[in-house]
Structure 1
Amino acid sequence: MADPTIMVLVGSLRAASTNRQLAAVAAETAPAGVSLRLFDRLGELPFYNEDDDGDAVAEPVRALRSAAAEADAALVVTPEYNGSIPGVLKNAIDWLSRPFGDGALKGKPLAVIGTSMGRYGGVWGTDETRKSFGVAGPRVIEDVTLSIPGTVFEGRHPRENADVVQQVRDAVGTLVAEIG
């Protein structure tokens, strides 16, 4: 098997997002030979509309679906917004779920991790993200349940916290082990 490729989606558009920093830690600590590729265009996707989902679908949607099709797995790194999924990520899930029953991530392993400033580190956000992706077609890896309270970082980059680095490394390792 060729070296595995993992598409990474970050549910926050903020440049200084702690979740974006977690994605960087995942890329830095991935097993040798594993390539993590951030799809950083979620903010460009139009809102999902089935009327617009055909041969002339918007270029950012084609790029998202192509990145997903080329990947062996997906890692989603997301905050919790108002107790749920950030809208930009839910929109990406909707685009990736089509064509119905045969989306670009169908059957591929997917793991969800994240951090949020709330007491529970975004548990609801990661749970809702797993649920939505589970319906959309990927094979969600339930063994990866990493929701980190943002308060553990104390204003520092997540790579400066050895426990967080190990948890992220383990999450990526679990995802890689699921690639068939």
Structure 2
Amino acid sequence: MTTTEHTTEHAAEFKVLAISGSLRADSHNTALLRAARKHQPGGLALEIYDGLREIPPYDQDLDTPADRPAVVADLRRRITEADGLLIATPEFNYSVPGTLKNALDWVSTDWTREEGLPLLRKPVAIMGAAPTNFGTVRAQLALRQSFVWTDSDVVVKPEVHLFRSYERFDAHGNLTDETSIALLRDLLTALKQKMAAAR
């Protein structure tokens, strides 16, 4: 760890759990999360979650504190402990990828009414990248709809839709488009404001 990295981490005011809805190794959405960590406005400790592939299909019979798969219990804990959530989603069939929706289903419940709801009033920022001309507009809309049910505190503006995403990253997965970087920074600033208000 360099001195700069150590200083940034030490000065962090808020913990943000970042989730990519894509499992692809070269995903632009995962690269977008790395860009968020690089271009954040300061004060954020951003952890990129890498367990999405391991989460099993939602099963209500197993959705109890005693029976949940360990990977699910871990995700619920991480979201609960985080000050905010940052999600980068691709768009599949005009909607959210099933793997991402499945993970959110696992963390949206409290059948015992004793644990608490990890997503309740949790500050959330949504963004996405796609190679198409319309980006992830429909996927983000579907995701926002899910967060209405969980009563999460979702950032409304700015909207970060990286359409024709292949034009905005270099060959190494670095975000190079200055307009996208500025929007990303503004989104994280808005998320930071919500997290501050929630304290």
Give the alignment partner of residue 25 of structure 1, picking from 8, 15, 35.
Answer: 35
Letter matched to residue 44 of structure 1? E
Q: Give the share of equivalent positions with the same residue, in percent.
A: 31
Aligned to 1:53: 63
In 1, are the aligned partners of 2:57 and 2:102 still within 8 Å (CA)? yes
**Structure 2 unmatched ranges of 5 or more:** 1-11
How far off is 1:85 after superposition? 0.3
Residues 151 and 7 of structure 1, relative CA distance in 2, 3 Å threshold: closer
SS at match of 2:183: helix
Aligned to 1:138: 152
Q: After TM superposition, list the pairs within 5 Å mapping 1:5-20 onto structure 2.
A: 5-20=15-30
Letter matched to residue 103 of structure 1? L
Letter matched to residue 91 of structure 2? E
Give the alignment partner of residue 87 of structure 2, picking from 61, 69, 76.
Answer: 76
Higher Cα radius of gyration: 2
**Structure 1 unmatched ranges of 5 or more:** none
Aligned to 1:160: 176
TM-score normalised according to structure 2 size: 0.84
In 2, are the aligned partners of 1:10 and 1:19 still within 8 Å (CA)? yes
What RMSD, in angstroms, separates the aligned Cα atoms of the two structures? 1.7
How far off is 1:23 after superposition? 0.4
Are 1:175 and 2:191 matched, yes or no?
Answer: yes
SS at match of 1:178: helix
How far off is 1:154 after superposition? 5.8
In 2, are the aligned partners of 1:79 and 1:125 still within 8 Å (CA)? yes
In 2, are the aligned partners of 1:9 and 1:75 still within 8 Å (CA)? yes
- In 2, the alpha carbon distance for the partners of 1:52 and 1:87 equals 19
Aligned to 1:109: 123
Residues 67 and 154 of structure 1, relative CA distance in 2, 3 Å threshold: closer
How far off is 1:151 after superposition? 4.3
Aligned to 1:128: 142
Letter matched to residue 67 of structure 2? A
Runs of 4+ in structure 1 off by over 6 angstroms are: none
The C-alpha deviation readout for 1:85-115, integer Å capped at 9, x for no partner, is 0001100110110115842121111011001
- In 2, the alpha carbon distance for the partners of 1:159 and 1:148 equals 10
- In 2, the alpha carbon distance for the partners of 1:135 and 1:147 equals 23
Are 1:41 and 2:51 matched, yes or no?
Answer: yes
TM-score normalised according to structure 1 size: 0.93
User: Which range is displaced more, 16-25 or 158-167?
Assistant: 158-167
Are 1:85 and 2:93 matched, yes or no?
Answer: no
Q: Number of aligned residue pairs: give it.
A: 179
- In 2, the alpha carbon distance for the partners of 1:96 and 1:115 equals 24
Letter matched to residue 171 of structure 1? L
